[in-house]
Amino acid sequence: MALLLEKHDIQAIVAEVGLAELMDRVIDHLAEDFGRWEGFDKSPRTANHYPHGVIELMPISNEDWYSFKYVTGHPRNPLDGKLTVAAFGALAEASSGYPVMVSEMTLLTAIRTAATSVFAARLLARPDSRTMALIGTGCQAEFQSYAFHHSFGIDTVRFYDVDPDACRKFARNMAGHPLRLVRCDSIDEACEGADIVSTVTADKANRTVVGRKHLIPGRHFNGVGGDCPGKTELASDMLADLKIAVEYEPQSRIEGEIQALPADTPVTELWQVLNGTAPVRTSDEDMTLFDSVGFAIEDFSVLRCIYGIANDGDFGRRSTLVFAPDDPKDLYSELAVPALPKRVAAM
Amino acid sequence: MALLLEKHDIQAIVAEVGLAELMDRVIDHLAEDFGRWEGFDKSPRTANHYPHGVIELMPISNEDWYSFKYVTGHPRNPLDGKLTVAAFGALAEASSGYPVMVSEMTLLTAIRTAATSVFAARLLARPDSRTMALIGTGCQAEFQSYAFHHSFGIDTVRFYDVDPDACRKFARNMAGHPLRLVRCDSIDEACEGADIVSTVTADKANRTVVGRKHLIPGRHFNGVGGDCPGKTELASDMLADLKIAVEYEPQSRIEGEIQALPADTPVTELWQVLNGTAPVRTSDEDMTLFDSVGFAIEDFSVLRCIYGIANDGDFGRRSTLVFAPDDPKDLYSELAVPALPKRVAAM
């Protein structure tokens, strides 16, 4: 029977392990999985597009495990009290195809996205980066700040959002954390002196959140919010100046900032940076971009990580969402619950 | 909060509604959805293949709803006490992308597969068909027999399976039903006098379950078990003699019996038969094949049907597998459970 993890179970796991420790563990799992990249059966996620959003399925597998995530991206959802990004997913054993865990993944996506940003920044940004500009203080903002502080060494976050309420929410949530917070009145102000610029906006459109004027030698751009056809954050005329790494080229061509580039422009995948075959940053002057769209391997990593914790710590509950009957060739008898014979007889 | 339906909830629904009535309702939903075929965003299912099986995701959407199913097909699973086909899935509202229901779908797949076979037979088989040969008495066998008896008018089922235990299980489960059961010792014997031949075998290979010698004027073949690349049930040299309808051509070219045909061989989709633009059977002498592989629209139909019943009847329970926080831009505060501040402070 598959383990079922709902919101309160993930809350309990974070409370038990601690968010900082959990981020580190997810990063470790990311490093392990990106390190065995070629052993995965990969494909771009499937997307069903609606006027106001998209629903995506993100499957991936290696010889031992299979995972998928269901995720919605509906930027107008907050107007109805719902999240722009909400998700759930499953981890399954390859040998039988049976899920071993079905889990909420809204919180897990926020965690793995931030963990992936840090994982990429370790490969792409100057290691002495200490100041981060954060453009967009929606749901992902605290996770980015938390992860970059704890797992990278950022000590100052300069933040800006078009929505003052979102800025206040962010400041309130991060109060008490050992992180210097500087609220800014514009993108330009937020970028002043930033070693890393993280863009985490939600609008489904081609926006120029940052442009050529934000190109500063040595700067690393962590582009998180552009993740859909027609949804980008960087001015296309700055891309040629950046050394770019993506997660998975076939998907990023469709969804990433690089959708603005000719399809034959060479790009580097993150795993190639990790294994040393294609370094991206070769000097402190290089300007780099992690063109993040979110790839299935990151969900695979976080699900593996959480499954280990949940199994060891007895979190969640056993579910019959997927089940094995007493006789694997006898599914029909599963319907022979007490009330059934009467109904059938009365037919 | 999404409704969560586990095995016992589906059992309770079947007990409440009755399997016969439920089959009819699912067939009604199928007719409605196939009748508005062109309004769906369709794609072949994604498949991750393993040496012993396949894991598939089956998404589909129209302007109001989205559904997907996770389904495994691992023919060796019964050796480990697991089902060859196990599934779960979700129904979501298009406007937000939020799932309204996450449900077990192993039982629902068995029900919708049988309902679809009957739905297709009403369009393709001679209406006076009364005798069905059933080749393969695994998990799908009772559902096929039940649906063809109740919703089509079959009064005799002649059955055969290579596994005597599976034959005995089938006979035991169907005992007491007002259906004449004839256990046969071979495929040939089972096919004697059958108006409809249903093949429901599980082996992942190109098998000749039925061949040219089983071509009898007027006969309808209901080909259910061949549903994967390299997994077929009909001899390829009999296909040219059959008038064939498929569910969704792009997927059936990959998975159906027609994978054995040149890619430019014309085929008819079921919805075209339904709306009268492409009749398949034009005489009582025609030999027809429903080349069924299982398409996402069928899951969409059964999920809509079950959601209506569950909502009206208060089945299942509300789950936080996917949730909306108090403030839709504040996901981080969801982690501020009582134990968290201590851990963070101790970091």
Chosen from B297, B326, B334 to mutate, greatest number of chain A CBs within 10 A:
B334
Residue B241: per-residue pLDDT: 95
CB contact under 8 A, A55 and B97: yes
Reply yes or no on whether A227 is catalytic: yes
CB-based contact B104 A55, cutoff 8 Å = no
Name the residue of chain A whose CA is nearest to B326's CA: A81
Could you tell me where in chain B the CATH 3.40.50.720 domains are found? 124-294
> CA B143, B231, B236 angle in degrees (round to 5)?
105
- What DSSP letter does each residue of B82-117 carry, written as one string? --SEEEEEEEEETTT--EEEEEE-HHHHHHHHHHHH
Decide if A331 and B19 are in contact by the 8 Å CB cutoff. no
CA dist., res. B143 & res. B145, Å (int) = 5
Nearest to A324 by CA among A334, A309, A314: A334
Tell me the shortest Cα–Cα distance from B68 to chain A, in angstroms.
9
Separation in Å, CA of A149 to nearest CA in chain B: 12
Choose the closest CB to A97 out of B55, B92, B321: B55
CA distance A280 to chain B (A): 32
Would you state the CATH architecture of domain B124-294?
3-Layer(aba) Sandwich (3.40)
pLDDT greater than 60 at residue A76 = yes
> Which residues of chain A are within 8 Å of residue B169 when distances are taken between CB atoms?
327, 329-330
Give A2-107+298-335's CATH code, choosing from 3.30.1780.10, 2.60.120.560, 3.40.50.2000, 3.40.640.10: 3.30.1780.10
Residues of B in contact with A16 (CB under 8 A): 339, 343
- Residue B82, CB-side half-sphere exposure with 13 Å CA sphere: 23
**Between A and B, how many residue pairs show a Cβ–Cβ distance under 8 A?**
283
**Contact across the interface for A41 and B19, Cβ inside 8 Å:** no
User: Which residues in chain A are classed under CATH 3.40.50.720?
Assistant: 125-294
**Closest residue in A to B202 (Cα–Cα):** A329
| A110 with B59: Cβ contact below 8 A | no
Which amino acid is residue B327, in one-letter code? D
- CATH number for the domain whose boundaries are A125-294: 3.40.50.720
Is B68–A87 a contact, with Cβ atoms under 8 angstroms apart?
no
| Of B97, B332, B337, Cβ closest to residue A143 | B332
Q: Which pLDDT score is estimated for A341?
A: 40
From chain B, pick out residues whose CB is under 8 angstroms from the CB of A75. none
- C-alpha–C-alpha distance, residues B267 and B252, integer Å: 10
Which pLDDT does position A232 carry in this prediction?
85
Six-digit token pair at A16? 């038990």
Chain B interface disruption, residue of A320, A326, A342, most B CBs within 10 A:
A320
Quick one: how far is CA B219 from the chain centroid? Answer: 22
Q: Which of A333, A345, A91 is nearest to B107 (CA)?
A: A333
The answer for residues whose C-beta is within 8 angstroms of residue A281's C-beta and 6 or more apart is: A124, A125, A126, A220, A243, A288
Residue B286: strand, helix, or coil: coil
> Which regions of chain A carry the CATH code 3.30.1780.10?
2-107+298-335
> What's the pLDDT tens digit per position in A319-344?
999 999 999 989 999 997 544 443 34
Cα–Cα distance, A14 to A272 (Å, whole number) = 31
pLDDT in tens, A114-125: 999 999 999 999
CB contact under 8 A, B83 and A328: yes
Average pLDDT, chain A: 93
Substitution target from B68, B96, B111, B333 for chain A, most A beta carbons within 10 A? B96
* B16 interaction partners in chain A (CB closer than 8 Å): 339
Q: Do B330 and A139 touch (CB under 8 A)?
A: yes
Distance CA A93, CA A311 (A): 14
The answer to whether B139 contacts A330, with C-beta atoms less than 8 Å apart, is yes
- What share of chain A has pLDDT > 90, as a percent? 84
Give the residue-averaged pLDDT of A231-259: 92
What is the pLDDT averaged over residues A258-272? 93
**What region does A289 belong to: left with phi over 0, alpha with psi -120 to 50, or beta?**
beta
With b for 16 or more beta-carbon neighbours within 10 A and e for fewer, the A148-172 pattern comes to: bbbbbebebbbbbbeeeebbebbee
Of B48, B110, B343, the CB nearest to A66: B48
Q: What percent of chain A has pLDDT over 70?
A: 96
CB contact under 8 A, A88 and B320: no
pLDDT tens digits, one per residue of A40-69: 999 888 999 998 899 999 999 999 999 999
For residue range A175-234, what is the model confidence (pLDDT) as tens digits? Answer: 989 999 999 999 999 999 999 999 998 776 777 899 999 999 999 999 998 777 787 889
What's the ipTM? 0.91
CATH number of B2-107+298-334, picked from 1.25.10.10, 3.30.1780.10, 3.30.1300.10, 1.20.1440.120: 3.30.1780.10
Q: Minimal Cα–Cα distance from B1 to chain A, Å?
A: 11
CB contact under 8 A, A70 and B90: yes
Distance (Å) from the alpha carbon of A23 to chain B's nearest alpha carbon: 12
Integer Cα distance of A109 and A83 in angstroms = 12
Among residues A33, A161, A195, A227, which one is catalytic? A227
Res A316: pLDDT:
96
| Residue of chain A with shortest Cα separation from B95 | A52
Residue in B227, B286, B291, B299 annotated catalytic: B227
Task: Tell me whether residues B19 and A344 touch, CB distance under 8 A.
Answer: yes
- Residue intervals of chain B classified under CATH 3.30.1780.10 are 2-107+298-334
Please give the residue of chain B at the shortest CA–CA distance from A201.
B329
Low-confidence ranges of chain B (pLDDT < 70): 204, 337-347
Residue with token string 């495990």: A65
Question: B307 φ, ψ to 5°?
Answer: -60, -40
Q: Does residue A345 carry a pLDDT above 90?
A: no
Terminal-residue alpha carbon distance, chain A:
34
